[in-house]
Amino acid sequence: MYAIGLVLVLVATINAGKHDQYSGYSVHGVKLRDDSDKVFITELTDSLDLDVWQDGVAGARDALVMLDPNSRLAVLDELDARGIQHYLHLRDVAQAFETHDEQINQWKQSRSGRLVPFNDYPRYAEVDAYLETIAAQYPELVTLVNAGQSYEGRDIKYLKISTTNFTDTSKPIYFMDAMIHAREWVTTPTALFSIHRLVEDLRDQDRDLLEDIDWIILPITNPDGYEFSHDDTRLWRRTRSINLEVSDTCFGVDGNRNFDVNWNTTGVSQDPCSQTYPGTSAFSEPETRILRDIFDEYIDRMEIFMNIHSHGNWVLYGFGNETLPPNAIHLHLVGAAMGAAMDAMKLPEADWYKVGNSAMILYGTSGSAQDYGQLVGVPLSYTLELPSYGFDFRVPPEYIEHINRETWEGIAVTARLARTTFRARQ
Ligand SMILES: *[C@@H]1O[C@H](CO)[C@@H](O)[C@H](O)[C@H]1NC(C)=O
Ligand SMILES: *[C@@H]1O[C@H](CO)[C@@H](O)[C@H](O)[C@H]1NC(C)=O
Ligand SMILES: *[C@@H]1O[C@H](CO)[C@@H](O)[C@H](O)[C@H]1NC(C)=O
């Protein structure tokens, strides 16, 4: 009996899919007609703690909402009762992620020997090794900084790239970070590619970017969440901090709601299980404190900040409460130049970039990195949402190379404009 039981357990283990927790889950596109539909959807998804894969914008972009098998019919009935149109975007989330894993495996195999971390979905250890290697190979140009540890004790590292070792105060600093939201896997490659293009593969036409600007590039802000999204829960977005007084089942907070700017006001949920839970206080998370300290240390010369996310083709600026910063016209101009540079290279299947105040064109937020950067004095502080070509968090690896090149063009344009605005302020 025991032997048979053991065999059955083994078989079950082998057959168990990696993404079984999403078995039977589906994702639905929801068409919003106006702002009251938007409010309705927000209240519905908040009250049921549904995972919104993509926020909708009336008349412009459908919301994508994940539904579990138990509540699916009730939710769709509510939409029908209100006359809101919806459609099936993904029939089976578990199956969709199995397929994506398979695509990634095939990509790795087909590229073996030629695989570089910026053309792949690299794990934390691979990114770490890349940063260490670059710093060791280019000591005159690159300084590796270990900025501190994540909640679970992973080192959070960034590179400083400078032809003058950050000593020339006439240069602006460009700060970019990626992967504050763990499931947005395609963000880290773009940060790594920027390192590659500045250090390993500097082109003549980009020499001014290296010589005139100091760069701070942090490819994985939330390493705990990122590793957890690989090992356990593919759709993990938040940090991994445990606070048993708040919840003994739901861990972590939304890092991009945890900064000390209008904290715990707009676009947050009090439910510790929600994807937009802002934490027990601003900067409760070591990961957001590390970004805070980088702003603090370099604010005198930091002209531009790019907080990289996926997905949606947006270049967004503050504030998340709909109040525009005093330099909003310039923020818009530089953001639009970035969007246009990326659109000039867009694939036919990609959306056009949209540029604007994050609350006016997308949704209200508080405690975001974008707003914190703006508040503490970075003149050009942005959220960038990369393209997904309709694949949401499952961007096929074949697209990474294109996203990297296209995004680099956008970054280059913003860097040159930031150089100009910085000089004008001197
Ligand atoms: C850059 O400056 C730091 C001190 O800020 C120093 O420790 C480091 O050795 C310098 N690196 C180079 C390449 O000169
Ligand atoms: C966040 O705001 C809500 C609503 O104002 C309030 O009830 C809650 O106590 C606040 N949370 C914390 C941790 O301060
Ligand atoms: C929105 O947030 C900014 C930054 O904190 C603040 O300066 C502004 O007064 C806020 N606007 C409103 C209407 O509260």
Please write the tens of the pLDDT for every residue from 202-213: 999 999 999 999
Summarize the confidence of residues 352-372 as an average pLDDT: 97
> How much of the chain, in percent, has pLDDT values that exceed 70?
96
Position 60 scores a pLDDT of: 87
CATH of domain 24-91: 3.30.70.340
Helix (H) or strand (E) holding 147: strand 142-149
Look at residue 64 and tell me whether its pLDDT is greater than 60. Answer: yes
Cβ-based neighbour number of residue 398 at 10 Å:
12
Position 195 scores a pLDDT of: 98
Look at residue 15 and tell me whether its pLDDT is greater than 50. Answer: no
Position 14 scores a pLDDT of: 47
Look at residue 130 and tell me whether its pLDDT is greater than 90. Answer: yes
Instruction: Give residue 3's pLDDT band: very low, low, confident or very high (50, 70, 90).
Output: low
Position 112 scores a pLDDT of: 84
Q: How far apart are CA 200 and CA 417, in angstroms?
A: 24
Where are the domains positioned within the chain? 24-91, 116-231+263-425
Q: Which amino acid is at 104?
A: I
In testing the pocket of ligand 3, which one of 265, 319, 372 has its CB within 8 Å of the most ligand atoms? 319
Position 1 scores a pLDDT of: 44
- The pLDDT tens digits of the residues spanning 381-400 come to 999 999 999 999 999 999 99
| Ligand 1 close to Cβ of residue 139 (< 6 A) | yes
CB 239 within 8 A of CB 198: no
| Ligand 1 close to Cβ of residue 140 (< 6 A) | yes
Q: Which CATH class is domain 116-231+263-425?
A: alpha beta
Q: How far apart are CA 336 and CA 326, in angstroms?
A: 17
Of the candidates 184, 227, 287, 385, the residue annotated as catalytic is: 385
Position 17 scores a pLDDT of: 87
- The pLDDT tens digits of the residues spanning 208-243 come to 999 999 999 999 999 999 999 999 999 999 999 999
Mean pLDDT of the chain: 95
